Chain A
């Protein structure tokens, strides 16, 4: 629900995948299944923890950023994962409120139902309003 952060993440993902002719980046879900045949990126931002102090509400927000990368071949996923990671780490400089960004998990799996590869990156994002 953090507009500034979501917009920054989307902007960074666009930069990371600028080498692809058609970049499909979506928040939360893919609009149609046809897109699975191309290189697509979806992301979601979940709130993990909120710290309040006596004098300031929502002092620190801990978010989990989940990025899913879909493609019928796994090679582009591996290639662009490097750029995506790099751009997501750059969020610290993009927004002063973002204090730390750390990768918490990464996985590459094959989805037999959809017949595509799915790469997933999970980041812990610490956002402070102080």
Chain B
């Protein structure tokens, strides 16, 4: 089994929001959860039993604040995505309280697609330091896999 690095040229990982690649990310994370209900009965001899219930997913990312909005050719090639977005533009997007489209490439021919709500967009500025920002997304509805 091949070890995957997000920066592996064959992966070219990215997150896209509103069909626009989010540029200059330094970390990205996607998390899928299944909730459970405890259904232990007297008959289970003091061993807990659970049943799966609802599933949900979240994603988050951090990056360096730039005003880049044009994207890079190498990463635009081979994808169906057009345009790009960045920390400054996402800050404006969250104000609209809209459900946005989400797409994340996690491997060659493995794209995770869904709808999401931007729940947090935080910008951090310090004297003499990089301006950094973070993004949190709450997935709504199914997360589905596609090959492109």
A residues adjacent to B (C-beta < 8 A): 51-56, 59-60, 62, 100, 102, 124, 126, 128, 130
Contacts and interface: CB of A to CB of B under 8 A. Distances in A.
Given A59-B64, A130-B66, A130-B68, A54 B127 contact: no
A15 B127 CA distance: 26
Nearest to A100: B128
B26 A53 contact: yes
A109 B19 CA distance: 59
B102 interface: no
Interface string B2-21: 00001100001110000001
Nearest to B68: A130
A126 B128 contact: yes
B63 interface: yes
The DSSP consensus for interface residues of chain B is: loop
A113 B24 CA distance: 50
Interface residues on B, range: 20 to 34
Given A130-B64, A130-B68, A53 B128 contact: no
B24 A56 contact: yes
Nearest to A53: B24
B127 A53 contact: no
A54 B64 contact: no
14 contacts: A51-B26, A53-B23, A53-B26, A53-B63, A54-B26, A54-B28, A55-B24, A55-B25, A55-B74, A102-B127, A126-B130, A128-B64, A130-B24, A130-B66
B26 A56 contact: no
A124 B72 CA distance: 29
B97 interface: no
Contact of A52 (B14, B26, B72): B26
A60 B72 CA distance: 17
A52 B63 CA distance: 9
A56 B130 contact: no
Contacts of B25: 53-55
Nearest to A125: B128
Contacts of B75: 54-55
Contacts of B128: 100, 102, 124, 126
Contacts of A60: 64, 130
A56 B71 CA distance: 10
Contacts of A56: 24, 72
